[in-house]
Structure 1
Amino acid sequence: MEMTTAAAVEKQGYKLTKLGWIPEEWDVRKLDDVAEIHNHLRFPLSETVRKGMQGPYPYYGPTKAQDYLDHFRVEGKYVLIGEDGDHFLKFQTHPMTLLVDGQYNVNNHAHLIKGTESCETEWVYWFFNSRDLTNDITRQGAGRYKLTKDALKRLLLVVPPVAEQRAIINILNGLKIQEKVILALVKAKSTYKSGLMQQLLTGQLRFPEFQGQPWHEQRISSLITESRIPGSNGKAAKKLTVKLYGKGVLAKNERQIGSVNTKYYARKAGQFIYSKLDFLNGAFGLIPEELDGYESTLDLPTFDISPEVDASLLLAYFSREEFYARFADIAAGGRKAVRIGPEELLKKKILLPSLPEQQRIAAVLNACDQEIELLQAQLRQWQQQKKGLMQQLLTGQLRVPNSL
């Protein structure tokens, strides 16, 4: 049903409410009128106490299971919605509700909600799942927000007839299952690629045409050379950042302008770059064409790559935890404080096949990456479609014929 104007909606049997236009037979109610809050079932426990109570029953916070305990206090289906935290600000990308069932426990940072005869528990879950609650929360110090029980009771929600609620819930559950299927495909393909990469980069799996050809140990300094082309400063530079675990190189989005006293260096497309601070978290990448000419400080050292080595293969080699974890023993102060300088990287040796075999390996791994990227694009497209369909179903703009 296409609705372009308020008048058109009204003619089709809709009414204007505090939550916008909804079907005439739907209502807008306070949560306290159509659902029950069961916070008396909460079980606040410190991490220290929980260590002595380990078991099979989930111990939920507002967004996920925080632990597993040896007994349970809650049984059945409930909706969890956070009582405090900063996740309320992330409603566009993170769910605001969690649907739990079975036998489990809930900490004191989540409200427990159960539906009634007039409002299904899962309707509450879906209605508030992506809802902006920022107008209903209070500020509790720096970066701390709270949805009090009284504020929770006053939350307004749209309530269709129960039959229509159930029909909509079935559709939304189906969309959620489809999303999980795509997520599972992405995970499976990523796991397959990781295993394949390990075998190919260690010579456990060889292509027939290269069988019998030796690999040679090479010092990394013979493969890459640090680049220090003078650039601008912290105020003028277009800056780069490197994501963790080989997830790529991006333009840095800074909220504050940098200092004119900070020296920056120009970087070129195709160069290898890493983060000194996050070396042990796999912060490696190749600078893409669109970021040619961007800059970084020496905290993100950058290197020209020898034509005698395949750049994609070298990145794959460096991005394996088996490689970068070898550097953990050279730094003091724990993983978060570790900085790995170019001199430490360059003096290491690695075992590599001939350039043709490198290129063959890189082609296979790049094909895997393309398949993963295609699945991830499908997932993003599906999630966007799901979000739009959810909005239409939960407001009655799109009706389920068999439930009317």
Structure 2
Amino acid sequence: MEWKTIEFQNLYAESSRNGLYKSKEFHGTVIRIVNMKELFAFPLIGEQEMQLLDVTDTELNKFGLQTGDLLFARRSLVEEGSGKCVLVVEHKKSPIVFESSIIRVRLNKNHCLPLFYYYYFRSPTGRLGIQSIITGAGQKGIRGSELAKVIVYHPPVTEQKAIAQSLSDVDALITECDRIITKKRNTKQGTMQELLTGKKRLPGFSGEWEVKKFDNLTKLITCGLAATPKYVREEIGKPFLSAQNVRNGKVVYDNYRFISYELFDQITKYSKPQKGDLLYTRVGAGIGEAGVIEDNFEFGIYVSLTLIRTDKNQLHNYFLLHLLNSPTYKSIAKNGQFAGGGVQNLNVQIVKEFSISLPPLPEQKAIAQILSDMDTEIAALEQKRDKYKAIKQGMMQELLTGKTRLVDSDRI
């Protein structure tokens, strides 16, 4: 049996409603209010901390939220945010109301499952329906009257439950991965703080650490090409990396452009990036992010990057990697910026003056190995989580359109 398609409003238990507007003098201490901040931050609304509001009993009755309510962003500065859907789940902490930029839809639970339509409107198919009613040139928005007329699939409730349960099971796996990843990251932060400062020593190591200037521990510290080059096609050029190619402690080879062979030879004549060197970002929001070059891959670098080559007899490159990516040195990098040429940047000379508290080389290697192993474990968990996310996207495309059926249609 094929799924029916109906107007969304045919599933409503009552008419949709825009939220409550209260001026600042009514900000209070009792009733939580869902603002756009919460709607964009959390797919499920329940026990989160929120702004508190003083409301009357009449307002609470009119704008109060119940388990199973769907909330839609009525407006957004970007199209992707307009019409975003979240689900209200069980909440015991305190009552919740919602603000005027949000539309509440309360479904008739005798005819449909809110959790199914939460997934539906977060799927590509559901988003197409939302996109068809988005209006506005600057600020994008949807109207409740138009949302009511969006055509949706309406499978039998039994099938809705089976689909929602399957997607919830995958969400639970994703959530558990995120929980473990967060725990591992916090553990790593604590380990970095102890090992990179000498507060905790590894077994078999003792003695005082030496404090040295960065410049005395490196063979090369230089920034990339200062002028914006003339870019060329891939087939006649060499890769040209910038600060955007260093992310999350890694050198990432994506979204780069190409420069001529002649310019590449010119800028790399005395400072060609090599395997084992570090790239260190010196401009932008991600300033102070370091990554080790782990491949024999030829490229030039833009001025937004600093190239660092350690003296291998004194400073282990991965020890330095973890040191530069620690909260302490991220703060040093941010505070060391200056507005050269009108752009905040981390000058090479400032980097050369960094002080480093340094253990003997064998201890550096041991510390770096421990932290790198932790990074490997976290990366494996992230890969596992991303695999679950990809599986979920595929399931949504198949299950929420009726292409794949979980329940025997002849029995429904």
Q: TM over 0.5, yes or no? A: yes
How many Å separate the matches in 2 of 1:241 and 1:188?
Answer: 31
Query: CA deviation digits over 1:58-94, x for unaligned, max 9?
Result: 5232423694224564221311222233664489xxx
Q: 1:63 aligns with which of 30, 40, 44?
A: 40
1:312/1:56 CA distance change after superposition, 3 Å: farther
Query: CA deviation digits over 1:166-207, x for unaligned, max 9?
Result: 232222222211211111111111111111111111112211
Query: CA deviation digits over 1:275-315, x for unaligned, max 9?
Result: 2224875422223416x322222221212222121111101
Task: Please list every run of 5 or more consecutive structure 2 residues that lacks an aligned counterpart in the other structure.
Answer: 43-48, 55-59, 233-237
Q: Tell me which residue corresponds to 1:203.
A: 198
1:234 shift after superposition: 3.9
Q: 1:141 aligns with which of 127, 137, 147?
A: 137
Q: 2:106 aligns with which of 89, 114, 119?
A: 114
- Residue 27 (structure 1) aligned with residue 4 (structure 2): yes
Structure-2-length-normalised TM-score: 0.77
1:79/1:247 CA distance change after superposition, 3 Å: farther
* CA contact 1:44–1:108 (8 Å) conserved in 2: yes
- Name the SS of the counterpart of 1:177 in structure 2: helix
1:52/1:320 CA distance change after superposition, 3 Å: farther
Q: How many residues align?
A: 370
How many Å separate the matches in 1 of 2:74 and 2:257?
Answer: 29
Question: Given residue 80 of structure 1, which amino acid in structure 2 is its aligned partner?
Answer: L
Structure-1-length-normalised TM-score: 0.79
1:33 shift after superposition: 1.5
* CA contact 1:280–1:328 (8 Å) conserved in 2: no
Q: Tell me which residue corresponds to 1:126.
A: 119
Larger mean CA deviation between 267-276 and 54-63 belongs to 54-63
1:50/1:235 CA distance change after superposition, 3 Å: farther
- Residue 100 (structure 1) aligned with residue 100 (structure 2): no
1:255/1:219 CA distance change after superposition, 3 Å: closer
Q: 1:214 aligns with which of 208, 213, 224?
A: 208
Q: Tell me which residue corresponds to 2:71.
A: 80
* CA contact 2:243–2:282 (8 Å) conserved in 1: no
* CA contact 1:280–1:324 (8 Å) conserved in 2: no
Question: Given residue 233 of structure 1, which amino acid in structure 2 is its aligned partner?
Answer: P
Q: Percent identity?
A: 19
1:239/1:69 CA distance change after superposition, 3 Å: farther
How many Å separate the matches in 1 of 2:259 and 2:111?
Answer: 54
* CA contact 1:136–1:147 (8 Å) conserved in 2: no
Question: Given residue 71 of structure 2, which amino acid in structure 1 is its aligned partner?
Answer: L
Q: Tell me which residue corresponds to 2:306.
A: 301
1:51/1:374 CA distance change after superposition, 3 Å: farther
1:279/1:64 CA distance change after superposition, 3 Å: closer
Question: Given residue 141 of structure 1, which amino acid in structure 2 is its aligned partner?
Answer: A
1:147 shift after superposition: 2.5
Question: Given residue 252 of structure 2, which amino acid in structure 1 is its aligned partner?
Answer: L
Q: Tell me which residue corresponds to 2:277.
A: 271
Task: Please list every run of 5 or more consecutive structure 1 residues that lacks an aligned counterpart in the other structure.
Answer: 1-22
1:327 shift after superposition: 4.7
Question: Given residue 64 of structure 1, which amino acid in structure 2 is its aligned partner?
Answer: A
1:146 shift after superposition: 2.3
- Name the SS of the counterpart of 2:239 in structure 1: coil
How many Å separate the matches in 1 of 2:9 and 2:349?
Answer: 64
Query: CA deviation digits over 1:109-129, x for unaligned, max 9?
Result: 332112113122222211111
How many Å separate the matches in 2 of 1:30 and 1:67?
Answer: 33
